[in-house]
Structure 1
Amino acid sequence: MRSYIVAISLLALTAPAVQASSDDAWAEFGKAVSTACVKAAAGQIEKPRAVVDPYGSDHFGLALVTGKAKGAKQTISLICVYDKQTKTVELGSEFSADQVKVTPGR
């Protein structure tokens, strides 16, 4: 019984630290997805900006990358899929501003 109480007490004391590191890990993950997706989209979009799904799916990070199409006046968006294991990205087809309304933070 005594070891049970000690275990519960230790768990209670470490829970805030686990939550904080988890928040830090998710923030780091979001930054990695954003950086990789913006870099991948730079060939198609001038000054690309990414809106990142904060958690993604089980296997992938997900983002929508938006900006002015290179060599054109229209704004486009691309879906970006970031593989969590290999840390590689793939971009989907273009969506026009008429199809997707996104205003990423600056």
Structure 2
Amino acid sequence: MPFNSRSTLTALFAITLMPAAAFASSDDAWEAMRADVSVKCIEAAAGSIEMPVAVVDPFGSNSFGLALVSGKPKGADGKISQICVYNKQTKAVELGGELTDEMLAAPAK
């Protein structure tokens, strides 16, 4: 079989691009997951928090997306936060209880 430098170069070029393409789609998938976690957690918290803001864990756990949703409690003063858990398979969310700033600032024991 004769050596064809053009074919070899083409194959090498294609091989070097494959990891970049996989990495890009992976970044896109992570960004889409983070956006979905943010939207769904904010929607879930809208019943108890005025203008909620979500801070999303960049990767979550193996099975769950995680976010901390914060804002002013409806009908009250102050600020509360709720932990939001997003099931990566079903895309369902659940909220934890209301955490006050005082609870979050409590010194470690």
Alignment map for 1:8-27 (pairs within 5 Å): 9=12, 10-27=14-31
Alignment map for 1:1-106 (pairs within 5 Å): 9=12, 10-100=14-104
Instruction: Tell me how large the CA RMSD over aligned residues is.
Output: 1.9
Which segments of 5 or more consecutive residues in structure 2 lack a partner in the other structure? 1-7
Q: Which TM-score applies when normalising by structure 1? A: 0.83
Q: How many Å apart are 1:18 and its aligned residue?
A: 1.1
Spell out, residue by residue over 1:62-84, the C-alpha distance to the aligned partner (whole angstroms, 9 max, x if none).
Answer: 00000000000110000000001
Q: Which TM-score applies when normalising by structure 2? A: 0.81
2:5 matched residue in structure 1: none
- Structure 2 CA distance for aligned equivalents of residues 20 and 11 of structure 1: 15
Spell out, residue by residue over 1:14-39, the C-alpha distance to the aligned partner (whole angstroms, 9 max, x if none).
Answer: 11111111111111100000000000
- Structure 1 CA distance for aligned equivalents of residues 17 and 60 of structure 2: 29
Which segments of 5 or more consecutive residues in structure 1 lack a partner in the other structure? 102-106
How many residues get paired? Answer: 97
Counting aligned pairs with the same residue, the percent is: 54
* One-letter code aligned to 1:89: V
* One-letter code aligned to 1:55: F
